[in-house]
Copies of this chain bind each other. A is one copy, B any other.
Amino acid sequence: MTTIKDSVHDHIEVEGVAADLLDTPPVQRLRRIKQLGTVALVYPSANHTRFEHSLGVFHLADRALDHLGIAGQRADRVRAAAVLHDVGHSPYSHNVEGVVARRTGKEHDDVDELVTEGRVAAVLDDHDIDPEEVAALIRGDGELAQLVAGELDVDRMDYLVRDAHHTGVPYGTIDHGRLVRELTFIDGDLVLDEGNVQTAESLLLARALMNPTVYSHHVARISKSMLRRGTEALLNTTEIDAEQLRRMDDHELSVALRTHDASREFGRRLAERDLYKRAVWAEMGDVSDALLDADHDEIREFEREVAEDAGVDSDAVILDVPGKPSMRESTTGVLVGGEVRRLDEQSTLVRALQVAQREQWRLGVYAPEPHLEAVGHAAERVLGLETDGALISDVNTPGRYASLTEFE
Q: A-side interface residues toward B, CB under 8 Å?
A: 1-8, 10-11, 14, 19-20, 22-23, 25, 28-29, 31-32, 40, 43-49, 51-52, 55, 165-171, 173-175, 177-178, 181-182, 193-195, 198, 201-202, 205, 208-209, 212-213, 249-252, 254-255, 271-273, 347-349, 351-353, 355-356, 359, 399-407
Contacts and interface: CB of A to CB of B under 8 A. Distances in A.
Closest 8 CB pairs of A and B: A352-B352, A2-B405, A7-B45, A251-B251, A4-B406, A170-B173, A7-B168, A23-B404
Given A4-B405, A47-B52, 11 more contacts: A3-B178, A3-B407, A5-B167, A6-B168, A7-B45, A10-B168, A11-B177, A20-B404, A45-B48, A173-B173, A205-B205
Copies in the complex: 4
A5 B165 CA distance: 12
Contact of A198 (B1, B209, B254, B399): B209
A260 to B, nearest CB: 13
B40 A31 contact: yes
Given A169-B175, A405-B3, A194 B399 contact: yes
Nearest to A402: B2
Contacts of A399: 194-195
A213 B198 contact: yes
A329 to B, nearest CB: 16
Contacts of A402: 2
Contact of A348 (B167, B193, B195, B352): B352
Contacts of A271: 25, 28-29, 32, 249
Nearest to A273: B28
A358 to B, nearest CB: 9
Contacts of A404: 2, 19-20, 22-23
A11 B251 contact: no
B178 A400 contact: no
A40 to B, nearest CB: 7
Residue among A5, A28, A194, A348 with max Cβ neighbours from chain B (10 Å): A5
Contacts of A5: 43, 45, 167-169, 406-407
A12 to B, nearest CB: 9
Contacts of A174: 170
Nearest to A401: B3
Contacts of A175: 169-171
Nearest to A171: B202
